[in-house]
Structure 1
Amino acid sequence: MESNVILQKLTQLEKLIIGTNKQIFTVDDVVNYTGFSKSYVYKLVHNNIIPYSKPNNRTLFFTKTEIDEWLLQNKSKSISQIEKEAANYVNSKK
């Protein structure tokens, strides 16, 4: 039983390592890279929420850089970042 778990984790790590070196992802690569389920990735594609390409109206492809940018959009600032910006703003108005 333990050996199956170890093999499963090694396979998962191998997919992650290989996937992060690629610049063009398939749906399976996006699933491994983000941890999202395959059905969720297809839902994001269907609703045009995630950037993708579909040459010949067949296979879905994603670029790693666009996935990274999409994942990091709508970033929330920490309280210390907001306080620093406020202090800089107040100091610049003096």
Structure 2
Amino acid sequence: MENAKLILEKLDYLEELILNNKKQILSVADLEKYTGFKKSSIYQLVHYNKIPYSKPNGKQLFFQKSEIDDWLTKNKSLSNDQIQENALKYALRKKV
């Protein structure tokens, strides 16, 4: 019986993931699940205009998934290999 309950919980979780993955517009609750950020952190980011959002009715917040993806991958750090590759390209370009 315990196994059946665990299986049902996992199926519910997977169903929610699939449905959320298809959404292009996210609510605060959806964004919490999508990013793992706490609700208070999301509201703080909105308050300081650090995250792209919409407020069409003046109250409820919505987030466009593609904009959130762009925002999440902004300011990424390069690996040492990428830095060395860029430095080599730069050095070779200067010699010509």
TM-score after normalising by structure 1: 0.85
Structure 1 CA distance for aligned equivalents of residues 34 and 51 of structure 2: 14
List, as ranges, runs of 4+ consecutive aligned residues in structure 1 with deviation greater than 3 Å.
1-10
Q: What's the counterpart of residue 86 of structure 2?
A: 85
Q: What's the counterpart of residue 20 of structure 1?
A: 21
Task: Name which one, 1 or 2, has greater alpha-carbon Rg.
Answer: 2
Structure 2 portions without partners, runs of 5+: none
Q: What's the counterpart of residue 52 of structure 2?
A: 51
Deviations 1:6-26 (A, max 9, x none): 444433332221111111111
CA RMSD of aligned residues (A): 1.7
Q: What's the counterpart of residue 67 of structure 2?
A: 66
**SS of the residue 2:57 aligns to:** helix
Q: What's the counterpart of residue 29 of structure 1?
A: 30
The answer to which of 56-65 and 5-14 deviates more is: 5-14
Structure 1 portions without partners, runs of 5+: none
Kept in 2: contact 1:25–1:62 (CA 8 A): yes
